């Protein structure tokens, strides 16, 4: 099954400038980006087989110090091409060009995955698609395995209204993407059986660690 807006959010057209854009952490959408990368590394110290969902130009995978193998997954060939160059000195990185939901259609292709990481990618899925992804992630992980999501989120519906007042210049972006509603998504993740830990990186970005 393909996600509805895979083509719209395929980053092929902006791949060449992506790494320059994320360096501007003064922009409220980017604030906390580098801290999030450090946080992913801190929380993958015991990980072995990892999947990086929506890996883009490879920044999240590059932040991970210890691993046996990482599957880097993205729908954008141009983003993957840049990731491949940046990660050329790392061993055991497998690049997969596919849609995030389609990936799970044939999860037999993975060895036992113990950790799933994903930064700034899942807000390209609709809320219903996020829930489907959570289920697939839960099924793929063994007991004790974890998922590490860092992304653009609103803490709650009231909080979203506050952010719309605080950042009127970003309303177009808020309307165009599918920022998480943190409170709602936590309920879904917990109902699946994940034990949850949350970290705030900025007004608009949060991290969730779910342990199965
Ligand atoms: C904002 S970038 C984030 C890249 C990287 N994770 C980071 O934190 O820098 C989002 C990435 O998700 C990819 N993407 C968007 N929708 C996707 C989908 N449905 N399936 C696979 N990849 C998708 C885009 O091509 C892009 O590379």
CATH of the domain at 39: 3.40.50.150
- Would you say residue 84 has pLDDT above 70? yes
Ligand 1 centre and the CA of 75: distance in Å? Answer: 7
Q: What rounded mean pLDDT belongs to the chain?
A: 96
Ligand 1 centre and the CA of 8: distance in Å? Answer: 11
- Would you say residue 72 has pLDDT above 90? yes
Q: What are the pLDDT digits (tens) for 139-198?
A: 999 999 999 999 999 999 999 999 999 999 999 999 999 999 999 999 999 999 999 999
Is residue 106 in a domain?
Answer: yes
Ligand 1 centre and the CA of 108: distance in Å? Answer: 23
pLDDT of residue 145: 97
Residues contacting 49, CB < 8 A, separation 6+: 67, 68, 69, 71, 110, 111, 112, 113, 114, 115
The CA distance from 182 to 196, in Å, is: 12
Is residue 189 in a domain?
Answer: yes
Mean pLDDT of 63-89: 97
Which residues, listed in sequence order, are joined to residue 208 by a DSSP beta bridge? Answer: 149, 198
Q: 58 by DSSP, 3-state: which?
A: coil
Could you tell me which of 41, 77, 46, 45 has the C-alpha nearest to residue 59? 41
Is residue 71 in a domain?
Answer: yes
Ligand 1 centre and the CA of 37: distance in Å? Answer: 15
- Would you say residue 97 has pLDDT above 80? yes
Is residue 98 in a domain?
Answer: yes
- Would you say residue 111 has pLDDT above 80? no
Tokens (6 digits) for 128: 């219903």
Using CA atoms, how far residue 194 sits from 6, 153, 171, 176, 187, in Å, is: 27, 19, 32, 29, 10
Q: Using the 8-state DSSP alphabet, how is residue 5 labeled?
A: T
Q: What is the pTM of this model?
A: 0.97
Ligand 1 cavity residues, CB under 6 Å:
3, 6, 9-11, 22, 54-56, 59-60, 74-76, 79, 99-100, 119-121, 124
Write out the residue range of the structural domain in which residue 109 sits: 6-211
Lowest mean pLDDT among 74-83, 97-106, 182-191: 97-106
In the chain, % of residues over pLDDT 90: 94
Is residue 1 in a domain?
Answer: no
Tokens (6 digits) for 184: 């709602």
Domains of the chain: total: 1
Is residue 192 in a domain?
Answer: yes
Q: Which long-range contacts (CB under 8 A, 24 or more apart) does 132-136 make?
A: 132/1, 132/101, 133/53, 133/100, 133/101, 133/104, 134/185, 134/188, 134/189, 134/192, 135/192, 136/101, 136/104, 136/107
């Amino acid at each position: 099954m393909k996600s509805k807006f895979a083509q719209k959010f395929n980053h092929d057209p902006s791949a060449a400038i992506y790494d320059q854009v994320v360096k501007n952490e003064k922009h409220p959408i980017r604030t906390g980006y580098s801290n999030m990368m450090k946080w992913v590394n801190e929380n993958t110290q015991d990980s072995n087989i990892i999947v990086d969902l929506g890996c883009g130009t490879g920044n999240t995978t590059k932040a991970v110090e210890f691993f046996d193998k990482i599957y880097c997954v993205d729908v954008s060939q141009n983003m993957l091409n840049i990731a491949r160059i940046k990660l050329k000195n790392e061993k055991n990185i497998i690049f997969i060009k596919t849609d995030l939901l389609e990936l799970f259609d044939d999860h037999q292709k993975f060895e036992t995955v113990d950790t799933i990481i994903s930064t700034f990618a899942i807000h390209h899925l609709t809320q219903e698609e996020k829930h489907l992804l959570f289920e697939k992630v839960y099924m793929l992980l063994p007991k004790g395995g974890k998922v590490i999501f860092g992304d653009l989120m609103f803490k709650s519906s009231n909080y979203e209204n506050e952010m719309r007042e605080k950042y009127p210049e970003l309303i177009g972006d808020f309307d165009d993407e599918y920022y998480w509603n943190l409170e709602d998504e936590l309920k879904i993740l917990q109902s699946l059986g994940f034990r949850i830990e949350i970290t705030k990186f900025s007004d608009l970005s949060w991290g969730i660690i779910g342990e199965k």
